Amino acid sequence: MNLNIPHPIEDIINTIEELKSINKYTEARATALQALSKYTDDYRIYEELADIYIFEENLDKAEEVIGYARALHPDSWTWAYLEGYIAAARGDFDRAIEILSVANNKFPNNAEIIRNLGWSYVMRGDIARGLGLLRRAYVLAPEDLMIINDLGVALMASGAEDEARALFEKSGHTVGLGAIQAMDN
């Protein structure tokens, strides 16, 4: 008896994720849109499509698609994360914090959610709170270059340049090291 019966939606989502991971966003978008023609009521495909639109920097389209995902499954953390990310990308850090806090409550210990929440606090001017969150994200995902970058920049903003330098040196983050060297000159 085979207990691992493949589920078509899971296979489709895995295919979309794989395409995104190798930067094939056009193919990922086409796969998601084709899947929606058959599975119009699956919120996860809308969330994948929104993520693709974000990578393509089409935030308006991403927001539209997130609305469908939210209507289909209001308790999903993914749409909340994506909506919070868009708010931060648009510079609306108060809204980003509000939405990302909901996402963080729904899915705690997600390094990407915590990173964006921390960065939003830093950008709003609450550097200490943002640093706390960015440090937590770093503990959860110490190899994530986006977390390293945001934590390092926040450390520099807080005046902890030596700690930022150590972080960038440990991770081999040459752009961050270059920024610190430029500040030293």
Domain-by-domain residue ranges, the chain? 108-185
Mean pLDDT of 164-183: 69
* d(C-alpha 169, C-alpha 119), whole Å: 21
Q: Which long-range contacts (CB under 8 A, 24 or more apart) does 156-165 make?
A: 156/180, 156/183, 157/122, 157/127, 158/127, 158/128, 158/131
In the block, tokens 């060297």 appear at: 181
Mean pLDDT of 155-174: 84
The answer to whether the CB of 153 falls within 8 A of the CB of 130 is no
182 or 153: whose pLDDT is higher? Answer: 153
At how many degrees (to 10) do helices 93-106 and 77-89 cross? 160
Span 107-125, pLDDT tens digits: 899 999 999 999 999 999 9
Span 1-59, pLDDT tens digits: 444 544 789 999 999 999 999 999 999 999 999 999 999 999 999 999 999 999 999 99
How is 17-49 classified by DSSP, letter by letter? HHHHHTT-HHHHHHHHHHHHHH-TT-HHHHHHH
pLDDT computed for residue 178 by the predictor: 58
Has residue 181 got a pLDDT over 70?
A: no
Q: Which of 38, 30, 52 is nearest to 8 (CA)?
A: 38
Written as one letter, the residue type at 61 is K
pLDDT computed for residue 120 by the predictor: 98
- Give residue 75's pLDDT band: very low, low, confident or very high (50, 70, 90): confident
CA atoms within 13 A on the CB side of 146: 11
CA atoms within 13 A on the CB side of 160: 14
Span 134-150, pLDDT tens digits: 999 999 999 999 999 99
How is domain 108-185 classified at the architecture level of CATH?
A: Alpha Horseshoe (1.25)
- Give residue 171's pLDDT band: very low, low, confident or very high (50, 70, 90): confident
Model pTM?
0.83
